[in-house]
Each structure stands twice: as C-alpha cells, then as structure tokens.
Amino acid sequence: MRSSSPRIPLRQRHRNDRFRAPQEKRPRMNDQIRVPEVMLVSDDGKTEVLPTTAALERARAQELDLIEVSPKANPPVVKIADFGHYLYQLQKKEKKQRSHSKQVEVKMLRFGFRTDKHDIERLADRAREFLGERHLVKFSVRLRGRENANKEYAINKLKGVLNGLLDAAEIEQEVKRQGDQYIAILRPKR
C-alpha cells in the first residue's frame, strides 16, 4: 500500500540543493549558547563573568539578543545587542576590509633580443603607467637559437631599461636567467 504523501521524483527533490548557498558562519545567539558561564561585555566596555542563564535573562529584559562574540575565549565572550544590527555591522566591516585589501598584480612586459630603441622606450612608458598604479612590473628578454651566444648583449639591454626606470621604481629582483630568457622585477618606489 502506498503512503498518502505525493511521490516526488528524485530529480525534483534535489533540484534546489544546487542553488542553495553554503551555510555561512553565523555567531551563536540566545539559546544556542550552551556553556555554563560567559563573560558579558557591556556597551561601555565593562566585563563581568556570570552564568549564561543570568546573561540571557538580562538580554530578554532589554528585549535584545545575547550574541556570542568570541566563542574560543575561556569563558566565551558575549554581548547584548540586536542580532540583525550586529550582523549588518559585521558585513559592513568585512566589505570595508575587502575593499582595502587590493591585490597587487605583476604586470609582464616582454621584448626580444633585436627589439629597437623606440619600442623599448614605449615599453618603459607602459611600465611607468603600471608602477604609477602600484603594480609590480616584470621585464623579460627572450633569447632564441643563436641569440644565446650573445647573452651579455641581452643582459645589458635589460639593465639599460631598468636603469632608465630607477627614478620611479626600485629593483625587487635582479636580472637572472630563467630558461631561455632573462627576467627582472621592479616595484614602485614607496
């Protein structure tokens, strides 16, 4: 005999699981805090250690929530506040931190053994733009075939470019060989 509940195909049953966002790490609040005693921090910065039930009663008397701020402390640190407002403040703080932590990119500029002076000047101008945007700049000179016999010429050409940029940059990594090319990295002056 079949059950009275309608039968839902497996494909439909789990369809929404793909779109469900991962459970974010939320602080515990009110009855979720299950330790015997907590350290309550008031708005003016005073702290006191008291049983969890007493702290919870204080929060309910003020019609606010008891929020676990630091669960790893011994005893855990809690605070009385509106939970929605507390989450909003946390999100605001995280967003501000993300906006201030801009990733530094390494911009790569390549030129060959036979690249002419005018093209190298154009590359140097491009490097100045990158350095002005506070990016690292990696120069690379590739040697092919018989060009490997004249390595000193390539190294001198690369050092000439670096010396031309020393007013706007500092050398992060000196000229070194990497396979069939020579590389050097510049960083903006502080």
- Tell me the per-residue pLDDT of 48-78, one tens digit each, with 9 for 90 and over: 999 989 989 988 898 888 888 888 888 889 9
- Classify domain 25-99 by CATH number: 3.10.20.80
Q: CATH 3.30.110.10 occupies which residues in the chain? A: 106-188
> What Rg do the C-alpha atoms of the chain give, in angstroms?
31
Helix (H) or strand (E) holding 77: strand 77-81
pLDDT band for 127, please (50, 70, 90 cuts).
Answer: very high
Q: Who wins on pLDDT, 6 or 86?
A: 86
**Quick one: fold of 106-188?**
Translation Initiation Factor IF3 (3.30.110)
What span, in angstroms and rounded, lies between the C-alpha atoms of 181 and 161?
A: 15
Q: CATH 3.10.20.80 occupies which residues in the chain? A: 25-99
The length of the chain in residues reads 190
Q: Who wins on pLDDT, 76 or 2?
A: 76
Cβ proximity of 105 and 67 under 8 Å: no
